[in-house]
Structure 1
Amino acid sequence: MEHARAALRWLLALAYAYAGYRHLATPAPFLAITPPWVPQPAFVVAATGVAEIAGAAGLLFPAMRRTAGWALALYALCVWPANVHHAVHHIAIDGTTLGWGYHAPRLAAQPLIIWWALWTSGAIEWPFGRRHARERARRP
Protein backbone atom coordinates (compact mmCIF):
# COMPACT_ATOMS: atom_id res chain seq x y z
CA MET A 1 0.00 0.00 0.00
CA GLU A 2 2.87 2.38 0.76
CA HIS A 3 4.27 2.01 -2.78
CA ALA A 4 0.89 2.96 -4.22
CA ARG A 5 0.64 5.92 -1.85
CA ALA A 6 4.13 7.11 -2.83
CA ALA A 7 3.43 6.74 -6.55
CA LEU A 8 0.12 8.59 -6.28
CA ARG A 9 1.79 11.28 -4.15
CA TRP A 10 4.41 11.86 -6.88
CA LEU A 11 1.68 11.97 -9.52
CA LEU A 12 -0.30 14.50 -7.49
CA ALA A 13 2.83 16.59 -6.88
CA LEU A 14 3.57 16.63 -10.62
CA ALA A 15 -0.03 17.58 -11.43
CA TYR A 16 -0.06 20.43 -8.92
CA ALA A 17 3.39 21.66 -9.97
CA TYR A 18 2.27 21.74 -13.60
CA ALA A 19 -1.02 23.45 -12.73
CA GLY A 20 0.88 26.01 -10.66
CA TYR A 21 3.24 26.69 -13.54
CA ARG A 22 0.25 27.14 -15.88
CA HIS A 23 -1.39 29.58 -13.45
CA LEU A 24 1.76 31.71 -13.55
CA ALA A 25 2.75 31.29 -17.21
CA THR A 26 -0.70 31.51 -18.82
CA PRO A 27 -3.14 33.08 -16.36
CA ALA A 28 -5.79 34.07 -18.94
CA PRO A 29 -7.81 30.81 -18.83
CA PHE A 30 -7.84 30.90 -15.03
CA LEU A 31 -8.83 34.56 -14.99
CA ALA A 32 -11.69 33.76 -17.35
CA ILE A 33 -13.22 31.22 -14.95
CA THR A 34 -12.66 33.25 -11.78
CA PRO A 35 -16.04 34.23 -10.33
CA PRO A 36 -16.75 37.99 -10.43
CA TRP A 37 -17.00 38.20 -6.62
CA VAL A 38 -13.30 37.28 -6.22
CA PRO A 39 -11.31 40.45 -5.44
CA GLN A 40 -8.09 41.15 -7.37
CA PRO A 41 -8.44 38.14 -9.67
CA ALA A 42 -4.96 38.49 -11.23
CA PHE A 43 -3.36 38.42 -7.79
CA VAL A 44 -5.53 35.49 -6.71
CA VAL A 45 -4.66 33.46 -9.83
CA ALA A 46 -0.95 34.15 -9.31
CA ALA A 47 -1.23 33.29 -5.61
CA THR A 48 -2.99 30.04 -6.43
CA GLY A 49 -0.16 29.15 -8.79
CA VAL A 50 2.39 29.76 -6.06
CA ALA A 51 0.25 27.77 -3.61
CA GLU A 52 0.05 24.81 -6.00
CA ILE A 53 3.81 24.77 -6.53
CA ALA A 54 4.48 25.10 -2.80
CA GLY A 55 2.00 22.33 -2.03
CA ALA A 56 3.55 20.07 -4.66
CA ALA A 57 7.00 20.63 -3.19
CA GLY A 58 5.69 20.08 0.32
CA LEU A 59 4.36 16.65 -0.64
CA LEU A 60 7.90 15.56 -1.44
CA PHE A 61 9.42 16.42 1.95
CA PRO A 62 8.37 14.14 4.82
CA ALA A 63 8.51 16.94 7.40
CA MET A 64 6.11 19.05 5.31
CA ARG A 65 3.99 16.28 3.81
CA ARG A 66 0.93 16.32 6.08
CA THR A 67 0.78 20.10 6.18
CA ALA A 68 1.01 20.17 2.39
CA GLY A 69 -1.76 17.58 2.14
CA TRP A 70 -4.11 19.61 4.33
CA ALA A 71 -3.18 22.80 2.47
CA LEU A 72 -3.80 21.24 -0.96
CA ALA A 73 -7.10 19.76 0.23
CA LEU A 74 -8.21 23.18 1.45
CA TYR A 75 -6.97 24.72 -1.78
CA ALA A 76 -9.00 22.24 -3.86
CA LEU A 77 -12.07 23.09 -1.81
CA CYS A 78 -11.50 26.83 -2.26
CA VAL A 79 -11.13 26.69 -6.05
CA TRP A 80 -14.26 24.59 -6.51
CA PRO A 81 -16.40 27.74 -7.02
CA ALA A 82 -14.28 28.64 -10.05
CA ASN A 83 -14.98 25.22 -11.54
CA VAL A 84 -18.71 25.65 -10.85
CA HIS A 85 -18.62 29.16 -12.35
CA HIS A 86 -16.86 27.77 -15.45
CA ALA A 87 -19.52 25.10 -15.87
CA VAL A 88 -22.65 27.09 -15.09
CA HIS A 89 -21.73 30.08 -17.23
CA HIS A 90 -20.36 28.05 -20.17
CA ILE A 91 -17.16 30.11 -20.23
CA ALA A 92 -15.08 29.60 -23.36
CA ILE A 93 -11.35 29.00 -22.97
CA ASP A 94 -9.34 29.76 -26.10
CA GLY A 95 -12.61 29.88 -28.02
CA THR A 96 -13.77 26.48 -26.82
CA THR A 97 -16.78 25.95 -24.60
CA LEU A 98 -16.65 22.67 -22.74
CA GLY A 99 -19.91 20.84 -22.24
CA TRP A 100 -21.30 18.95 -19.29
CA GLY A 101 -19.49 15.84 -20.52
CA TYR A 102 -16.36 17.56 -19.17
CA HIS A 103 -17.82 19.65 -16.37
CA ALA A 104 -19.93 17.03 -14.59
CA PRO A 105 -17.07 14.55 -14.06
CA ARG A 106 -14.70 17.42 -13.23
CA LEU A 107 -17.00 18.78 -10.54
CA ALA A 108 -17.73 15.30 -9.20
CA ALA A 109 -13.99 14.55 -9.04
CA GLN A 110 -13.23 17.45 -6.69
CA PRO A 111 -13.93 15.43 -3.50
CA LEU A 112 -11.63 12.72 -4.87
CA ILE A 113 -8.89 15.30 -5.45
CA ILE A 114 -9.33 16.52 -1.88
CA TRP A 115 -9.12 12.96 -0.55
CA TRP A 116 -6.11 12.24 -2.80
CA ALA A 117 -4.15 15.11 -1.22
CA LEU A 118 -5.06 13.98 2.29
CA TRP A 119 -4.40 10.26 1.79
CA THR A 120 -1.17 10.52 -0.19
CA SER A 121 0.23 12.96 2.37
CA GLY A 122 -0.60 10.62 5.24
CA ALA A 123 -2.95 13.17 6.79
CA ILE A 124 -5.69 10.52 6.76
CA GLU A 125 -5.76 6.75 6.39
CA TRP A 126 -9.39 6.42 5.34
CA PRO A 127 -10.62 4.10 3.98
CA PHE A 128 -7.59 1.83 4.09
CA GLY A 129 -6.55 2.42 7.71
CA ARG A 130 -9.83 1.23 9.20
CA ARG A 131 -9.76 -2.04 7.29
CA HIS A 132 -6.17 -2.73 8.32
CA ALA A 133 -6.99 -1.92 11.95
CA ARG A 134 -9.89 -4.40 11.88
CA GLU A 135 -7.67 -7.08 10.31
CA ARG A 136 -4.98 -6.55 12.98
CA ALA A 137 -7.63 -6.79 15.72
CA ARG A 138 -8.83 -10.18 14.39
CA ARG A 139 -5.37 -11.75 14.48
CA PRO A 140 -4.65 -14.00 17.49
Structure 2
Amino acid sequence: MKPLIVLIITFCIAILINKIVNGNYNLALSGRIAMAVMLAFTAIAHFAYTTGMSMMIPSFIPFKTELVYLTGIIEIVAAIGLLLPHYRIITGWLLILFFILILPANIYAAMYHVDFQQASLNGKGLTYLWFRVPLQIIFIVWTYLSAVKTSLVETHLSF
Protein backbone atom coordinates (compact mmCIF):
# COMPACT_ATOMS: atom_id res chain seq x y z
CA MET A 1 0.00 0.00 0.00
CA LYS A 2 2.83 2.40 0.84
CA PRO A 3 4.37 2.25 -2.67
CA LEU A 4 0.99 3.11 -4.22
CA ILE A 5 0.59 6.08 -1.87
CA VAL A 6 4.11 7.29 -2.72
CA LEU A 7 3.34 6.88 -6.43
CA ILE A 8 0.09 8.85 -6.33
CA ILE A 9 1.29 11.65 -4.04
CA THR A 10 4.49 12.11 -6.06
CA PHE A 11 2.46 12.12 -9.29
CA CYS A 12 0.19 14.89 -7.99
CA ILE A 13 3.16 16.96 -6.79
CA ALA A 14 4.98 16.45 -10.11
CA ILE A 15 1.89 17.55 -12.05
CA LEU A 16 1.70 20.78 -10.04
CA ILE A 17 5.41 21.48 -10.38
CA ASN A 18 5.29 20.82 -14.13
CA LYS A 19 2.37 23.25 -14.47
CA ILE A 20 4.17 25.95 -12.51
CA VAL A 21 7.60 25.48 -14.14
CA ASN A 22 6.71 24.47 -17.71
CA GLY A 23 3.19 25.86 -18.07
CA ASN A 24 1.72 22.42 -18.81
CA TYR A 25 0.82 19.31 -16.85
CA ASN A 26 3.02 16.85 -18.80
CA LEU A 27 1.37 13.71 -17.46
CA ALA A 28 3.94 11.37 -18.97
CA LEU A 29 6.89 13.14 -17.34
CA SER A 30 4.97 13.39 -14.07
CA GLY A 31 4.24 9.67 -14.31
CA ARG A 32 7.90 8.83 -14.87
CA ILE A 33 8.97 11.04 -11.97
CA ALA A 34 6.41 9.39 -9.71
CA MET A 35 7.48 5.89 -10.75
CA ALA A 36 11.14 6.82 -10.23
CA VAL A 37 10.45 8.09 -6.71
CA MET A 38 8.36 5.01 -5.94
CA LEU A 39 11.16 2.73 -7.18
CA ALA A 40 13.70 4.58 -5.03
CA PHE A 41 11.34 4.17 -2.07
CA THR A 42 10.90 0.43 -2.65
CA ALA A 43 14.63 -0.02 -3.31
CA ILE A 44 15.32 1.23 0.21
CA ALA A 45 13.27 -1.69 1.53
CA HIS A 46 15.64 -4.13 -0.17
CA PHE A 47 18.45 -2.82 2.01
CA ALA A 48 16.42 -2.11 5.18
CA TYR A 49 14.46 -5.39 5.21
CA THR A 50 16.89 -7.76 3.51
CA THR A 51 16.19 -10.72 5.80
CA GLY A 52 12.42 -10.48 5.37
CA MET A 53 12.67 -9.97 1.64
CA SER A 54 14.96 -13.00 1.41
CA MET A 55 12.14 -15.00 2.98
CA MET A 56 9.95 -14.07 -0.02
CA ILE A 57 12.19 -16.10 -2.33
CA PRO A 58 11.49 -19.86 -2.65
CA SER A 59 14.00 -22.13 -0.91
CA PHE A 60 15.24 -23.75 -4.14
CA ILE A 61 16.66 -20.42 -5.36
CA PRO A 62 20.22 -19.84 -4.12
CA PHE A 63 21.87 -16.57 -3.09
CA LYS A 64 18.69 -15.03 -1.68
CA THR A 65 20.37 -12.13 0.09
CA GLU A 66 22.39 -11.25 -2.98
CA LEU A 67 19.26 -11.44 -5.12
CA VAL A 68 17.46 -9.04 -2.78
CA TYR A 69 20.36 -6.59 -3.04
CA LEU A 70 20.48 -7.02 -6.82
CA THR A 71 16.78 -6.29 -7.23
CA GLY A 72 17.18 -3.21 -5.05
CA ILE A 73 19.99 -2.00 -7.30
CA ILE A 74 17.87 -2.77 -10.36
CA GLU A 75 15.11 -0.59 -8.95
CA ILE A 76 17.55 2.30 -8.41
CA VAL A 77 18.95 1.95 -11.94
CA ALA A 78 15.42 1.79 -13.36
CA ALA A 79 14.45 4.93 -11.43
CA ILE A 80 17.37 6.77 -13.01
CA GLY A 81 16.71 5.29 -16.46
CA LEU A 82 13.11 6.50 -16.47
CA LEU A 83 14.35 10.06 -16.05
CA LEU A 84 16.93 9.91 -18.86
CA PRO A 85 15.21 10.64 -22.19
CA HIS A 86 17.49 8.38 -24.27
CA TYR A 87 16.95 5.41 -21.95
CA ARG A 88 13.30 5.71 -20.94
CA ILE A 89 11.88 3.37 -23.61
CA ILE A 90 14.30 0.50 -22.92
CA THR A 91 14.02 1.17 -19.19
CA GLY A 92 10.23 1.07 -19.49
CA TRP A 93 10.25 -2.29 -21.26
CA LEU A 94 12.81 -3.77 -18.85
CA LEU A 95 10.86 -2.44 -15.88
CA ILE A 96 7.68 -4.08 -17.19
CA LEU A 97 9.60 -7.35 -17.48
CA PHE A 98 10.97 -6.84 -13.97
CA PHE A 99 7.46 -6.31 -12.56
CA ILE A 100 6.33 -9.55 -14.22
CA LEU A 101 9.37 -11.48 -12.93
CA ILE A 102 8.98 -10.38 -9.31
CA LEU A 103 5.29 -11.25 -9.11
CA PRO A 104 6.00 -14.94 -8.27
CA ALA A 105 7.99 -13.81 -5.21
CA ASN A 106 4.97 -11.85 -4.04
CA ILE A 107 2.72 -14.85 -4.64
CA TYR A 108 5.14 -17.10 -2.74
CA ALA A 109 5.27 -14.59 0.14
CA ALA A 110 1.48 -14.50 0.30
CA MET A 111 1.20 -18.29 0.25
CA TYR A 112 3.64 -18.60 3.15
CA HIS A 113 2.41 -15.53 5.06
CA VAL A 114 5.76 -13.74 4.85
CA ASP A 115 5.87 -10.35 6.54
CA PHE A 116 9.04 -8.94 5.04
CA GLN A 117 9.19 -5.95 7.38
CA GLN A 118 9.10 -8.14 10.49
CA ALA A 119 11.02 -11.04 8.86
CA SER A 120 8.33 -13.38 10.13
CA LEU A 121 5.67 -15.77 8.86
CA ASN A 122 2.82 -13.68 10.27
CA GLY A 123 1.91 -11.87 7.04
CA LYS A 124 -1.53 -11.30 5.56
CA GLY A 125 -1.46 -14.46 3.47
CA LEU A 126 -3.42 -15.07 0.30
CA THR A 127 -5.80 -12.14 0.89
CA TYR A 128 -2.77 -9.93 0.22
CA LEU A 129 -2.82 -11.12 -3.41
CA TRP A 130 -6.20 -9.43 -3.96
CA PHE A 131 -4.27 -6.19 -3.54
CA ARG A 132 -0.82 -7.13 -4.82
CA VAL A 133 -1.73 -8.60 -8.20
CA PRO A 134 -3.85 -5.59 -9.27
CA LEU A 135 -1.13 -3.31 -7.90
CA GLN A 136 1.46 -5.06 -10.07
CA ILE A 137 -0.83 -4.57 -13.08
CA ILE A 138 -1.15 -0.87 -12.21
CA PHE A 139 2.65 -0.57 -12.09
CA ILE A 140 2.96 -2.27 -15.49
CA VAL A 141 0.28 -0.10 -17.13
CA TRP A 142 1.68 3.03 -15.47
CA THR A 143 5.16 2.28 -16.80
CA TYR A 144 3.87 1.52 -20.27
CA LEU A 145 1.80 4.71 -20.50
CA SER A 146 4.40 7.05 -19.04
CA ALA A 147 7.62 5.60 -20.47
CA VAL A 148 6.95 3.39 -23.48
CA LYS A 149 3.79 4.56 -25.23
CA THR A 150 4.48 8.25 -24.73
CA SER A 151 8.02 7.82 -25.99
CA LEU A 152 6.85 5.92 -29.08
CA VAL A 153 4.35 8.66 -29.90
CA GLU A 154 6.96 11.39 -29.35
CA THR A 155 9.47 9.52 -31.54
CA HIS A 156 6.85 9.08 -34.27
CA LEU A 157 5.87 12.76 -34.16
CA SER A 158 9.48 13.91 -34.49
CA PHE A 159 9.80 12.51 -38.02
Match of 1:19 in 2: 42
| Cα deviation, residue 83, structure 1 | 0.5
Are residues 1:112 and 2:135 paired? no
1:5 partner SS: helix
Output the amino acid matched with 1:44: L
Q: Which among 77, 86, 89 is matched to residue 63 of structure 1?
A: 86
Across the aligned residues of Structure 1 and Structure 2, the Cα RMSD in angstroms comes to: 2.0
Are residues 1:7 and 2:30 paired? yes
| Cα deviation, residue 37, structure 1 | 2.7
Conserved 8 A contact 1:20-1:52 = yes
2:85 partner SS: coil
Output the amino acid matched with 1:36: S
Match of 1:90 in 2: 113
Query: Unpaired segments of 5 or more residues in structure 2?
Result: 1-23, 154-159
Match of 2:149 in 1: 124
Q: Which among 40, 54, 57 is matched to residue 34 of structure 1?
A: 57
Output the amino acid matched with 1:124: K
| Cα deviation, residue 29, structure 1 | 2.1
Paired residues in the alignment total 125
Report sequence identity in percent: 26
Query: Unpaired segments of 5 or more residues in structure 1?
Result: 130-140
Structure with the bigger RCO (C-alpha within 8 Å, sep 6+) is 1
| Cα deviation, residue 7, structure 1 | 1.3
| Cα deviation, residue 35, structure 1 | 1.8
Tell me how far apart the structure 1 counterparts of residues 146 and 90 of structure 2 sit (CA, whole Å): 12
Tell me how far apart the structure 1 counterparts of residues 47 and 127 of structure 2 sit (CA, whole Å): 27
2:26 partner SS: helix
| Cα deviation, residue 47, structure 1 | 0.6
1:91 partner SS: coil
Output the amino acid matched with 1:120: S
Tell me how far apart the structure 2 counterparts of residues 5 and 105 of structure 1 sit (CA, whole Å): 25
Tell me how far apart the structure 1 counterparts of residues 75 and 50 of structure 2 sit (CA, whole Å): 14
Q: Which among 44, 49, 73 is matched to residue 50 of structure 1?
A: 73
